[in-house]
Amino acid sequence: MQIVDRRLNPGGRSLANRQRFMRRAKSLIRRAVHESSGERSIKDADQAGEVSLPTEGVHEPSFRRGRSGGVRDYVLPGNKDYQEGDTIARPNNGGGGRGSEGSPDGEGQDDFRFALSHDEFVDLFLEDLELPDLAKRNVTKTESVTWHRAGYSVTGSPANLALMRTVRNGLSRRIALKRPKRGEIEALEAEIAGLEASGEDPLRLTSLRDDLARARRRASRIPYIDPLDVRYRTFQSSPKPIAQAVMFCLMDVSGSMTEHMKDLAKRFYVLLYIFLKRRYKHVDIVFIRHTHLAQEVDEDTFFHSPETGGTVVSTALEEMIRVMRERYHPEDWNIYGAQASDGDNTSSDNERTASLLTDHILPSCQYYAYLEVGREGEHFPPGFARRHSDLWQTYSMVVATGAPMAMRKVNHRRDIFPVFRELFSRKPKAGAAAERVDA
Amino acid sequence: MGDLLFEGAEWTFDTLRRCHDAAAEVASNVLGLDTYPNQIEVISAEQMLDAYSSIGMPLFYRHWSFGKHFARNEGLYRAGMQGLAYEIVINSNPCLSYVMEENTAMMQTLVIAHAAFGHNHFFKNNYLFKQWTDADGILDYLEFAKSYISQCEERYGEAAVESLLDAAHALMSHGVHRYPRRRPADLRSEQRRERDRRAHEEAMYNDLWRTVPRGKAAAGDNRVEERRRALLQLPQENILYFLEKSAPRLAPWQREVLRIVRQIAQYFYPQGQTKVMNEGCATYVHYRIMTHLHEHGRLTDGAWMEFLHSHTNVVFQPEYDDRRYSGINPYALGYAMMEDIARIVRTPTDEDRAWFPDIAGTGDEMAVLRDVWANYRDESFILQFLSPKLIRQMRIFDVLDDANEPEMRVMAIHDERGYRRIQRALAKQYDVAWTTPDIQVADVNLAGDRRLILHHRALNRVLLDEGDTRLVLQHLADLWGYDVLLKEVDPGNEAVLKEHAASPRGNILRQDALI
């Protein structure tokens, strides 16, 4: 009998099969991911998740009998009061429900839950999406450096001694110079001792003694490790590109914004956050809410604290500019702006908003997205032109100049993801950040 | 009284060894079991899931369906809807048993008794396993299969191999030889038979036969036909074998892959036919071993209670109208029958003497059981040994569902008139000829349009599942390379009940360009 401990064997033996399965079921999984992203709460939107797949999509067929028709026997345990010759009404599902055959492959026909790892989830979630204008304008100007391995050198500090390499060099040198091995010397010594003891063959004894003396000389002349063998690991520095981004979330929290609208905005921010996080090592978020006054707040206040007042959008932009100046210098940070609003603005403020955006914000931003959230179920009868909001009209003019900015309207939760995808989907040309001015 | 094997739930490798040795002693001295040497492997829960996904084998080739099973089991396990098996045992020599590290010391003992002795004995002695599987070679063969298929993937692309495996897996249930093949006779016996034939002919010689006029034209055609069918070994029920040998357009490596799938299907073929017996044997053995250990003071009373709890869970049989009912539990039926046989051998009633004159009261239940385990499969086992007492105890009844009748009818219950019918009906449910549809390659015209014709002999007029059949037939057509026609035939009057046809899809499996 043998006991083997396999617990330490490398895990993930099914990984290859899992990848094959995912490739096979890709379209199904993708659909499931998008559906499930609508259901799950925002906080854990980018956590690993379970999705449920319909089984028929990855069905493995086999020749098997149908579930109804013909003559069949059911042999069942636990008879209560049936007598021979009793008749029983046939269950509606054709007898399959009695289950004496069960399902032939031993699997139910239910959907099955499928757990995706975080990376798999996000990959599928954001598949085919790309950040526009990824060419960072300030990539070259950076102070931080990163070290990476750059081969071996003959000088260096003892801490960087490359032991393997050193010993290997020593070995090859000893082989090349034919340094006698310890075993060979011992063999000579043993043979000499043997001959001395027996006293036979004095000629051979002398020649062996010569050999031994020669071997010892050689061994002492050729060292085991020579300074020539020693190698050190070397490192080189290289400039590190900026790998951090800041995301400004701007939202109108005046009375006209309903909970539904805030929810839409939140969903959009979450998507943007997940997306940025995938591209940048470090992502900061700044929440700025505004009525007729703007204020930087924490996340909870941003989404949940009620506020009343008028609506002056430019205050939020000013606040954003202030925070940018203080903490997020465009040369060190990739800046993304996302603004959500129902489109209301004090008419007199529109001009100022446009100029702040064009002159101060857009030049330092990688991308600026404006999301206009509407009431659920808002629709217009055909033939009626839809009136565009103040903010929409203002921003349309900015976008028309070809700035790195996009704007969309969203009324329903289910539209968020398509709109997001549309904004960031991989486009053939970088300059195609064209907006679509319709509902 | 011996020393306690362990106390509490913790175990060490030393404990495992002690438990194994104690169980081995009971198995060989008290029960007289004959087993392969054991190799016990301790694995983690994740590794157990891994093993699940490759049909329990320690190594297997790669295919998406195994990933699917893994994902499914993992999902169920994580959601807490399904526990993991405590063990997996592999029919190899040495016999591999996987035990989970999470098990308590009592569970490990139980698992060792169950798998490393019960299943092990069954694997080594049952005639089906002896006839169909090669316990010495299976792991090497799987190793070969795995590396061969991964080489094919490198050479011909993963997509090509995957679609081939999809097709082969779909036909896996019809890729087994059900009867031992005729072995080619050796020269000596050929000569002997030839001599016997000649002697027979000489003895039977009658000059009158020479004068009988001979039929002519029709016979010629028929002979060609017969010869062709004989060359192709038609009719052939092993569809994968037929394709491997005769499909006109497969590349050599594709034939080899079909062969691999077929060999593996053949390896698992006995397991499907001996589920009840195999589990019954293992459960009976673990019960006997554990009882013996407890009686001789090797287990604490606490461990004994824990064992009883787990044992009764395993052999629990919900009744047909219970929400938990999902067919007859092979552990429950198998264990109940083994216990029942032991009872008949030890303390038979008059009824038992009438029904089982051969074994009733012979006194040595292990001798009888060892003989049963060696020489039966589920179908014959139930037909032979399902006793009236057990039918009464489980209150088994038989319902007939004839699609031509408006209602189902109770044909037999646990009474004098019903026993035989219940035995037969239950045995039939474990008969492979009943559980897998009888589909055979009936004919093919290699000189003409090469259309492959298969027959499904629709037992009791139960037709094949329409959707699945279409998919499988499509795979079959892809492999065959030409049109395929499946006729569902009523075995009673040879009437064709239904036909399915499929044509190969373009270049799904064609590798002509690459060869």
In this structure, the answer to whether residues B324 and B428 fall within a common structural domain is yes
Interval B187-216 mean pLDDT: 80
Residue B193 belongs to some domain of the structure:
no
The ipTM assigned to this model is 0.78
Domain shared by A167 and A280, yes or no: no
Same domain, A274 and A213: no
d(CA A358, CA B330): 76
User: Quick one: A416 and A279 in the same domain?
Assistant: yes
Residues B60 and B103 in one domain: yes
Say if CB B422 and CB B397 are below 8 A apart. Answer: yes
- Contact partners, residue B251, CB within 8 Å, separation at least 6: B511, B514, B515
CB contact under 8 A, B20 and A17: no
One domain, residues A278 and A404: yes
Evaluate whether residue A77 is within a structural domain: no
Say if residue A368 is in the same domain as residue A258. yes
**Of A186, A205, A234, which marks where a domain is finished?**
A234
Is residue B266 a part of any domain in this protein?
Answer: no
Per-residue pLDDT at B61 exceeds 80: yes
Same domain? For A361 and A250 the reply is: yes
pLDDT at A432: 38
The answer on A210 and A329 residing in a single domain is no
Judgement on whether residues B304 and B325 belong to the same structural domain of the protein: no
- Domain span at residue A306? 244-424
- For the cut 50, the answer to whether the pLDDT of residue B447 exceeds it is yes
CA distance B426 to chain A (A): 6
Give yes or no for a contact between B324 and A99, defined as CB atoms under 8 angstroms apart: no
A210-224, B77-91, B158-172, B451-465: segment of lowest average pLDDT: B77-91
Domain annotation covers residue B472: yes
pLDDT at B349: 92
Contact: B68, A78; criterion CB under 8 Å: no
Same domain, B301 and B320: no
Using a 10 angstrom Cβ sphere, with 0-12 exposed, 13-18 middle and 19 or more buried, the burial of residue B194 is exposed
In a domain, A138, yes or no: no
pLDDT higher than 90, residue B294: yes
Give mean pLDDT, residues B284-299: 93
- Pair (B324, B423) in one structural domain: yes
User: Which residues of chain A fall short of a pLDDT of 50?
Assistant: 41-43, 94-109, 134-135, 137-142, 428-439
Residues B322 and B421 in one domain: yes
- For residue A426, the model assigns a pLDDT of 61
Residues of A in contact with B408 (CB under 8 A): 74, 87-90, 95
pLDDT digits (tens, 9 = 90+) for B455-503: 998 888 888 888 889 989 999 998 988 899 999 998 888 888 889 998 8
Half-sphere exposure of B502 (CA within 13 A, CB side): 21
Give a yes or no: residue B142 inside a domain: no
B215 within domain boundaries:
no
Residue finishing a domain among A234, A257, A276: A234
The predicted pLDDT at position A107 comes to 38
Residue A416's domain is classified under what CATH number?
3.40.50.410
Residues A50 and A180 in one domain: no
Provide the domain count of chain B. 3
CATH code, domain with B469:
3.40.1350
**Same domain as B321, residue B428:** yes
Q: What is the pLDDT of residue B79?
A: 65
**Confidence at residue B308, expressed as pLDDT on a 0 to 100 scale:** 93
List CB contacts (< 8 A) between B476 and chain A: none
Query: Which residues in chain B touch residue A62, judged by CB atoms under 8 angstroms apart?
Result: 170-173, 468, 472
B424 CB neighbours in chain A (<8 A) are none
Is residue A180 located within the same domain as residue A285?
A: no
Share of chain B above pLDDT 70, in %: 93
CA distance B106 to chain A (A): 17
How do residues A352-375 score in pLDDT, each as one tens digit?
A: 888 888 888 888 888 888 888 887
List, in order, residues 6 or more apart from A370 with CB less than 8 Å away: A338, A339, A340, A341, A391, A395, A405, A406, A407, A408
Residue B185 lies in a domain: no
pLDDT, mean of residues B196-219: 76
Q: Could you tell me if residue A136 is inside a domain?
A: no
For A13, the closest of B50, B415, B463 (CB atoms) is: B50
B481 in a domain, yes or no?
A: yes
**Structural domain that includes position B450:** 436-514
Do residue B75 and residue A9 have CB atoms under 8 angstroms apart? no
Residue ending a domain, choose from B285, B310, B335: B310
Considering the domain architecture, whether residues B342 and B440 belong to the same structural domain is answered as: no
- Report the domain count for chain A: 3
Are B321 and B303 members of one domain? no
Specify the range with the lowest mean pLDDT, choosing from A362-371, B16-25, B73-82. Answer: B73-82
Residue with the bigger pLDDT between B387 and A409: it is B387
Residue ending a domain, choose from A234, A262, A279: A234
A215 with A277, same domain: the answer is no
| Tally of CB atoms within 10 A around B53 | 23
Do A364 and A277 sit in the same domain of this protein? yes
Residue B515 has what pLDDT?
39
| Whole-number Å distance between alpha carbons of B269 and A364 | 70
Q: Confirm whether B195 is domain-assigned.
A: no
A positions 89-128 inside 8 Å of B (CB): 89-90, 95, 98-102, 107, 112-115
CA distance A81 to chain B (A): 10
Residue B31: pLDDT band with limits 50, 70, 90: very high
* CA distance, residue A271 to nearest chain B CA (Å): 26
B468 and B371 inside one domain: no
Whole-number pLDDT of residue B292: 94
Q: Which of A305-314, B79-88, B102-111 has the lowest mean pLDDT?
A: B79-88
Are residues A314 and A254 part of one domain? Answer: yes
Distance from CA of A27 to the nearest CA of B (A): 15
- Closest A-chain CA to B150: A16
Element housing B151 (H / E): helix B138-156
